[in-house]
Amino acid sequence: SYVLTQPPSVSVAPGQTARITCGGNSIGSKSVHWYQQKPGQAPVLVVYDDSDRPSGIPKRFSGSNSGSTATLTINRVEGGDEADYYCQVWESSSDQGVFGGGTKLTVL
Amino acid sequence: EVQLVESGGGLVQPGRSLRLSCTGSGFTFGDYAMSWVRQAPGKGLEWIGFIRSKAYGGTREYAASVKGRFTISRDDSENIAYLRMNRLKTEDTAVYYCTRDRLQAFEIWGQGTVVTVSS
């Protein structure tokens, strides 16, 4: 089965840029989606199809995907961005959804 | 407002069954595939299965961890998706979310319902 690898944690100071990676075999050939989950809340889609944002998601959130790594970038990080972030792809060969293990973003 | 509301969670003994419901509102329910995703306490997200819209055959796919025990169905006339869980195990303890799918992303999420499997 397809495996997505994320760092367990990322820390960043307010106002700086956070980059959260998601590694997978030839992930650049897949569409990658990113979710934000705050404590006690349901996940929220923040980036879909590698780099598109749903309505209502700030432009500070962006994504890229190439080769074996996809990246979620959060510019001008705010305290309210502190959350767990998950990447996700669809494994077409088996018609399965696959999540990364999640990354806890801490705002220092 | 587009909304999904899960219900039916609770405490159940190992080996027993439970059926969860997911009621949609604010959109044409039958036009969308619907997935179920769960999250064990302190753990990450796990996709467990989905059902396509009738336009795409209404067929279903499941994760290996639940295949043969869990069944997803839908009633588009009532705007409800169901997750029937049989032969429950302690490791099925989790918050269960339903999602509205769009282009293989989980676009809209419900608030979740808690399932605890314990004797």
pLDDT of chain B, 119 residues: tens digit per residue: 999 999 999 999 999 999 999 999 999 999 999 999 999 999 999 999 999 999 999 999 999 999 999 999 999 999 999 999 999 999 999 999 999 999 899 999 999 999 999 99
pLDDT computed for residue B83 by the predictor:
98
Measured in degrees and rounded to the nearest 5, phi and psi for residue B95 equal -85, 130
Q: What is the per-residue pLDDT across A49-104, written as a single tens digit (0 to 9) for each?
A: 999 999 999 999 999 999 999 999 999 999 999 999 999 999 999 899 999 999 99
Residues of B within 8 A of A87 (CB-CB) are none
Q: What is the pLDDT of residue B112?
A: 98
Tokens matching residue B42: 């302190």
Q: Do B44 and A45 touch (CB under 8 A)?
A: no
Q: Do B104 and A90 touch (CB under 8 A)?
A: yes
Locate B29 and state its tokens.
Answer: 């329910």
Compute CA distances A62 → A16, A58, A84, B59, B101, whole Å.
14, 9, 16, 33, 21
Please give, rounded to a whole number of angstroms, the shortest distance from the CA of A2 to a CA of chain B.
12
CB contact under 8 A, A49 and B105: yes
Which amino acid appears at position A30 of this protein? K
In chain A, the residue whose alpha carbon lies closest to the alpha carbon of B45 is A99
Chain B partners of A99 at a C-beta cutoff of 8 Å?
37, 44-47
pLDDT at residue B103, as a whole number: 87
Nearest to A41 by CA among A11, A10, A84, A99: A84
